[in-house]
Amino acid sequence: MRAVVHDRYGSPDVLRLEDVEQPVPKDDEVLVKVHATTVNRSDCGWRSGVPFFTRFFTGIPRPKHKILGSEFAGEVAAVGSSVSKFAVGDHVFGACGFGTHAEYVCMRESRLIAHKPKGMSFQEAASVSDGAIIARRCLQAADLGQGRSIVIYGASGSIGTAAVQLARQTGAQITAVCNTKNLELVKSLGADEVIDYTKQDFRKNGQQYDVVFDAVGKNSFRRCRRSIAPGGTYIETDLGFMWHVPALALFTRLTRLFGGRRVTLPFPKYSEDEIDVLKELIEAGKYRAVIDRAFPLEQIVEATKYVETGQKTGNLVITITQEGKQQ
């Protein structure tokens, strides 16, 4: 099968397309023929090996996961002997740790995989899992509800567009911060107020919010604390912060000295329950995919370089088959 591989850390140019052995499903696994996948911020971090601590997860001298990619949508090509939820030919979507930048991927049926939502294309289905699951976990830690307020910084990215839509379900008052071109988009997703960061700094508008959600890892508690209401929460999503893991508990407690404010760095919960909830929201018309553009697998380097500009809107899709190219 064709797959995008890398055997050293570095720039997007370390990625290359080559033929590799097709995986074989174990008894409890599903083999998926991938029609579409994505390139996201995590893929870029794993590939670059920066910050260095990430290599403790992916291999210190060189990558142990040579095929990147976590999100997918495709068709079940084979199932293990103990698989009961899926059958050959089923259309599925979901996310796994690595391996979806390839024509086939194997994963356990008990992990983050579900039948593709009705009426959704493979491109759309491939793009919804990761950002939504991260955003949902973050918002669960924020105790949102009717009458509560949240500002979402980076509201037009993968996590941000998910956060706006999910926060809308709580009845919270949503202020979305993004660039000029995406103001109308985030309004359509459910934001009550939008701020163009190229023209206004939300930290200087004199308002305080119950929750400040940095969806792109470009702010900090220190810079935003005056915008957080007493007893409020700052949500961090930048794993670079994990350099401070030994001191994270202490730091979280110390932030409470600033009017009882707290910092949280929620870890996503990649379980089958999460993907089932997401599917229900999509089929109920309460959540939709946001796609910036799509690249063929052969242009993975160009696609990755575009993601690293930090200017993509929503998600960037990689199409692998003809089915994945259809909208």
Task: List domains and CATH numbers for the chain.
Answer: 2-128+289-325 (3.90.180.10), 132-264 (3.40.50.720)
Q: Cis bond leading into 61, ω under 30°?
A: no
Q: If you average pLDDT over residues 300-315, what whole number do you get? A: 97
Return the C-alpha torsion angle 49, 52, 56, 60, nearest 10: 70
- Predicted confidence band of residue 259 (pLDDT cuts 50, 70, 90): low
The reported pLDDT for the residue numbered 88 is 98
CA-to-CA distance for 161 and 132, rounded, in angstroms?
Answer: 8
Q: What pLDDT, in 10s, does the model give residues 107-137? A: 999 999 999 999 999 999 999 999 999 999 9
Cβ contacts of 282-289, under 8 Å, gap ≥ 24: 282/117, 282/120, 282/128, 283/117, 283/118, 283/119, 286/165, 286/169, 287/128, 287/132, 287/162, 287/165, 287/166, 288/124, 288/165, 289/120, 289/123, 289/124, 289/125, 289/127, 289/128, 289/314, 289/315
In the prediction, which pLDDT does 326 show?
Answer: 73
Categorize the per-residue pLDDT at 241 as very low, low, confident or very high, splitting at 50, 70 and 90: very low
The amino acid at 269: K
The residues, any chain, with a CB within 8 Å of residue 66's CB and separated by 6 or more, are 5, 6, 7
Six token digits for residue 75? 């068709």
Place of tokens 């089929």: 283
Tokens of 170: 């709580």
End-to-end CA gap in the chain: 24
Could you report the per-residue pLDDT of 85-113, keeping only the tens digit for each?
999 999 999 999 899 999 999 999 999 99
Q: How many CB atoms lie within 10 A of CB 184?
A: 10
Mean pLDDT over all residues of the chain?
92
109 CB-near residues (< 8 Å, 6+ apart): 28, 29, 30, 79, 80, 83, 84, 85, 86
Q: Tell me what pLDDT residue 141 has.
A: 86
pLDDT at 249 over 50: no
| Residues found in the chain | 327
Query: How large is the average pLDDT for residues 5-11?
Result: 97
pLDDT of 257 above 60? no
Residue 88 CA to residue 219 CA, distance in Å, equals 46
Q: What is the pLDDT of residues 160-201, one digit of tens each?
A: 999 999 999 999 999 999 999 999 999 999 999 999 999 999
